[in-house]
Structure formats: C-alpha cells, structure tokens
Structure 1
Amino acid sequence: MRSTTGMVNLRSGGRACLKRSPAAGLRSASRARRRQISENPEPRKMGDIRLGTSGYSFGGWKGIVYPSNIRESEMFAYYTDYFRLNTVEINYTYYTMPSRKVFESYARRLPDEFDFTVKLYAGITHEPWLSADSAPDVDTDLCSRFLWAIEPLAESGRLGCLLAQFPPRMYPGRVSWDYLLRLRDAFAGQKLVYEFRNKAWVSPGTISKLKQADIGYCAVDEPQVGPLMPLVPAVTSDVAYLRFHGRNTKWFEDSSVRYDYLYSERELKKMLPTIKSMAGRSKTVYIQFNNCHAGAALRNVKMMQYLLGLDVPPLQGVLFGAAF
C-alpha cells in the first residue's frame, strides 16, 4: 500500500510501520533539546525541599483560605503556624524598594526552620531594559540600598536567596550577559537565582554560563503562549528553584486573570518526579506557587506538601475552598 505522512504503511509480512510527520519530528527534537539543556550529574541524596507561595498578604484570600475576619497583621502568623509552610517568596519588593524596618520585624518573629526568598526591585531588573537607545547598566547604588534593606534578614540566616526576574524583551547576547554578570557582582555574597521570561534563553549555553557563574536557574511552569518559557528543570547552583505560575492561556490578553489558575491534583502529581530530581541535584529546592488569585496558590502548595509526604492530609477548607 502507498504510505502517506502520519499513516500506517503495511509492508511485506504484514508489519505495520508508522511514518512520523515533520511536526512530530520537531516535537521530538524539542523534547530531546530540553533534556539536553537540563542534563546534570546523577542525583545524590535529596536536598531540602521548601514549599511556599509568592506572597501571603492578600485581601482576596479572606474567607477562602484565611478566616474572613483576619487582620492583615495576623496573616503572616496564620501562614506559618496554621498552614505549616517553611518559606515564602516576598514579591512586593519587585514593585517598591523594601523598608529595612519591615525586614527587622520579620527577623524578630520568624518561626524555626523558616526562611524567605526575596524578589529584586524592578528598577534593578526591568527599567534598564526600557530604553533601546543605550546598553543596560546595573544601578549599583540601587543594589546597595536593596542590600541594606534586607540585611537584617541576611544576618539572621533566614534569607534563602534573591530572585531576579527579567522582562520578555531581554534576549540573550553579549550585552545581556555582561549585564547579568555585573548584577551578580553587585550582589556578591548573596545567592542569586535568575528567571527569564523569553524562551530564547532556553539553550545549553545559558545553563553552562549560569553554572560557571554560580547563579541559580529558575524553572517555571507557565502557559505555553507567546515567548513564555517551557519547563526546563535545570539546576545550576546549590539552590534550585521552581515557580508555578499557573497555566491560564489568557496571560497576554488580560493581566488581571494572568495568575487565575488552580492546579488539579493530577497535574501536581505529574510534577513530582521533576521536583524530586531537582532536589537530588541541589542542597535546597524552593517550590513557590505564584497562582495567587483567590487563594489558589495556598490551596495548591498544601496539596503539593501532602503529595510529597511532607505533611498531614491537606486541610479541607484549603483543598475545596470552603469558607471559614
């Protein structure tokens, strides 16, 4: 019989042969490329798995995952004590320069075994890329002010790492790498993790250079639309990082629903091998849920905590959104 692309061709002896379409070949090549990019030495004993959310103080969480009458000043204690999480990603520092007093307060009231990851200010990571007329520069004065503000947390030993997220308009190249290395130098002595928002960065070269510079790579689970990154569970320093952004395909259409997504238990179960692999190739792996709309992040992090065997069964109100 005459074969057609993607159809079964019955050859002599009755054997069936499936001829792959060009598209299937491209998909296979893409998967192989991602495996090559994230390739690392054989896993050792699993590192510390730390689970949290990207922020904890949201009015929209009241009556869903927080009691409806909770005060903002009570949210942090509720997050740490009631939900028994061991990290949180501080995100407000992306939108405004942090206050040293805030971090002094955190350092005084942290529970045992709890630490923070802190996102760098957009004035450091984004604003340098707004102008197309000049090469981006690292504002060392701004970096010094940021370091001074978070110093109480660092001195207390509760600063896990700093997360630098870069804009989609940032592409790999000599200018970009020069900026990235100067940014590392500006934060010398701190553990840095870089999150890219453009899939042009998905390459063995990116992973190799980050390893050489001892900079962590932030793996992401996010919708596969536009330039957004595929999941590449690479580990490039002793700190591994995975952010769950949700899979809402309206990411670029409507920013108000960008993080409106609740992972199913089945979706999270499929991520377990990835998390365990990353933990086996690092000293610490941070799993931060950024799908914060309507408390979805907190519901999902408790589900993941249970699936990993790190806690008792999830709270009924958290899993099913029952009002308190």
Structure 2
Amino acid sequence: MDTRARAGLRAAADDPVVRALADDGLYIGVTAWTDRTLVESGELYPRGRADAEERLRHYASQFPLTEVDATFYQPLAARNAPLWVERTPPDFLFDVKAFRLFTHHPTPPADLWRDLRDALPDKLAAKPRIYVRDLAPEVRTEALRRFATALDPLHDTGRLGLLLFQFPPYFYPSRRSWEYLVWLESELRDRRIGVEFRQSRWMDDEHREQTLDYLTRLGLVYVCVDEPQGFAGSLPPVAVATAELAAVRFHGRNAETWAVPGLSAAERYAYDYRTEELAEWVPRIEELHEGGRPVHLLFNNIYRGYAVRNARTLARLLAERAG
C-alpha cells in the first residue's frame, strides 16, 4: 500500500463507536495484541493463518490504541518501531511499558545492551539479577537514553502515547523514590510518562495528597487502575488526573489468581467484566475527560479475548451516556 493510500486510513475505522470516541479523545484498546490466547480466541482476529503484520493492521482497524508489553522484559529491537509505523494509520497510538530495569525490577544482566553488560564490574556481571541502583549514574543514564531512542520512530510520527513505568510493591513512598521520579522526568522531558504503583501506601490517607501533588508538579500521569482489592499492593479504583493526559488500566478483578506465583500474565488477569462493573467507570472516565482531556483506556485482561469484549462494552456504555 503506498503512502498516499495509507494516509487516508484511520485507526479503528471499522468500528464507528470506538472511532467516534477516539475522535473525542477517549482512546480504547487492549494490551499485548499478539497474546496467544487472544489470537486463538477468535474475538479479534479472523480465523486462519495470519502473520504479525496482518494482525497489527487488523488490530488498528478495530482500536486506536494498544500497549506494548514486551518492552518490559527486553529493550525494543531497533527494527520494530519502524515496522509498527509502517503497519498502522497515522493516528494510531502505542503506549509502551518501560524496561523492567527502570522500574526497579530485578533484571538479568544478559538483557542489557551488550557493550553496557560487558562493561559491568565482574562481581556485578556475575549476579543472576541486578537492579537499577547497582549501576553507575552514567551507565543508568545511557541505558535510559538507548531505551528511549529506540522509540523515536513512534515519537517522531506522533504514534507514541504514554511511556508506562509500572513499579513493584516494594517501591514505597520515600525521598529516594521521589528523587528517582524526578530523575526520570528530567531525562525524558519530551515524552509523556505514566506512573502505575503497586504499593497501596502511595494512595493511603497519609500519602495520597502528597502523591497526587508531586505527580502534578512533575507533570507525570497517575495511571488509574481497576484491580483486585484487599492485597498489600492494591490501589483503589479512583479516577484522578495529574497531567494533560489521563489513563486507566483494567486488570480485572480475579483475586484468586492475582498473587499466585508462576502464572503467565494472561492467566493472572483472567477476568471477564460484567457490564455493571464497567458501568461504574463511566462517570469516572467522564470526570477524567473533563475539559477535553485525552484519556487512554486499556484492558489488560487479555486471556481468551476477554479484553476485546470488555473494551467494546465500555465503548458502547460511553457512547450511550454521551448520546
């Protein structure tokens, strides 16, 4: 397809409800568009053989937004972002998860860029897992620069949405944590940064006001969540905007699998929302969208296509409320 023909395409053009919401600034999508259980479910992709290019093109015809999950595990290969640009309409958006090194998760040294890995002190290189705090400041900065640079083709064409930093339960509110967020903002000032916490103290009565105030000052997006409650890392399902863009991630409410070790991401988030549960979010999303603020709405419960069904249901509920 030539450039002129492609320029006439629009993301989610095959779904008028989802497309109309995107035109209004409400972008709905699902994460991990290549997940095996999603592909096999038949909820999104036509039955039969399809390669990666066909799947992404088809996905973009149904939704205006997706989230790249693979970048959490390894930095993006240089060839990927240009291919995604080529295979999607100009108004399609990719939210991208930050590499786990930058979210204080343990990271195998083998997953670092080769020259940075080879330059590690022998004692550090011999460890099975390292943390961002283990790196010299100049190495940490260079690693972040490389991660961001690989996304330049998305950024330069307007397809890069939110760069999502999902922190673990042991990332507590503290001076060191805030210093780290300040560092991220200073190094990535040309990118939209979203912050998702998995430690409830960030939003408890003692810390909530400070958390939201600091994020607002830094211009970082507080990522709202819908997830199982009652765990040490559970965040309340509140709708709050701390920047010019807002975001909500729907993880499902499967308390039985939420904290079980050894499950795949798809299995952990296996939950099919009821319509009334999604309806709870309609007024919250309207609040986030007040004044025309763009809102990213992503379903992470991709198991067996639940996310696709739920995303379309939410789209219908939002459209009915608006119309």
Which residue, 236, 240, 245 being the options, matches 2:242? 236
Q: Distance in 1 between matches of 2:312 and 2:104?
A: 32
Tell me: CA distance 1:207–1:179, structure 2 relative to 1, closer, same or farther (3 Å): same
* Separation (CA, whole Å) in 1 of partners of 2:260 and 2:221: 30
The 3 A distance-change label for structure 1 pair 131 and 150 is closer
| Matches for 1:1-324 after TM superposition, within 5 Å | 48-61=25-38, 62-65=40-43, 66-73=45-52, 74-81=54-61, 83=62, 85-127=63-105, 139-202=140-203, 203-227=208-232, 228-250=234-256, 251-254=258-261, 255-256=263-264, 257-280=267-290, 283-309=293-319
Q: Following the alignment from structure 2 to structure 1, what is the Cα–Cα distance between the partners of residues 134 and 280?
A: 42
Q: 1:281 to 1:47 in 2, by over 3 A?
A: farther
> Offset at 1:253?
2.4
Task: Give me the TM-score of the superposition, normalised by structure 2.
Answer: 0.76
Residues 97 and 164 of structure 2 are in contact (CA less than 8 Å); yes or no, is this contact kept in structure 1? Answer: yes
Q: Which has the higher helix share?
A: 2
How much does 1:152 deviate? 0.5
Deviation at residue 128 of structure 1 after TM alignment: 7.0
The C-alpha deviation readout for 1:171-203, integer Å capped at 9, x for no partner, is: 001011011111111212111110000110001
Asked if the contact 1:52–1:87 (Cα under 8 Å) also holds between the matched residues in 2, the reply is yes
CA 1:77/1:221 → structure 2, altered by over 3 Å: closer, same or farther? same
SS in 2 for 1:127: coil
For residue 216 of structure 1, report the CA deviation from its aligned partner: 0.7
Partner AA of 1:52 in structure 2? G
Contact kept in structure 1, 2:91 and 2:158, CA below 8 Å:
no
Per-residue deviation, 1:67: 2.8
What secondary structure sits across from 1:295 in the alignment?
helix
The alpha-carbon distance between structure 1 residues 293 and 263, as it changes in their structure 2 partners (threshold 3 A), is same
Measure, in 2, the Cα distance between the counterparts of 1:231 and 1:137.
Answer: 37
Secondary structure of 1:103's counterpart equals helix
Per-residue deviation at 1:281? 5.4
Q: Counterparts of 1:262 and 1:185 in 2: how far apart (Å)?
A: 39
**CA–CA distance in structure 1, aligned partners of residues 105 and 196 of structure 2:** 16
State the Cα deviation string for residues 67-99 of structure 1 (Å, max 9, x = none). Answer: 332323221112122x2x111111111111001
Preserved contact between residue 87 and residue 114 of structure 1 (Cα < 8 Å) = yes
Shift of 1:271: 1.2
- Superposed CA RMSD in Å reads 2.4
Shift in Å, 1:112: 4.1
Match of 2:113 in 1: none
Is the Cα contact below 8 Å between 1:47 and 1:280 reproduced in 2?
no
CA deviations 1:191-223 (Å, max 9, x no partner) are 111000011000110000000111110000000
Partner SS, residue 309 of structure 1:
helix
Q: TM-score, normalised by structure 1?
A: 0.76
| Cα distance in structure 1, aligned partners of 2:130 and 2:94 | 32
Structure 1 stretches of 4+ with a deviation exceeding 2 A read 126-132, 134-138, 253-257
Q: In 2, distance between residues paired with 1:249 and 1:68? A: 32
Q: How far off is 1:126 after superposition?
A: 2.3
Separation (CA, whole Å) in 1 of partners of 2:176 and 2:134: 7
**Structure 2 unpaired stretches of 5+:** 1-22, 108-128
Alignment partners' CA distance in 1, 2:135 and 2:220 = 20
- Identity, in percent, stands at 32
Rounded to whole Å, the distance in 1 between the matches of 2:278 and 2:231 is 23
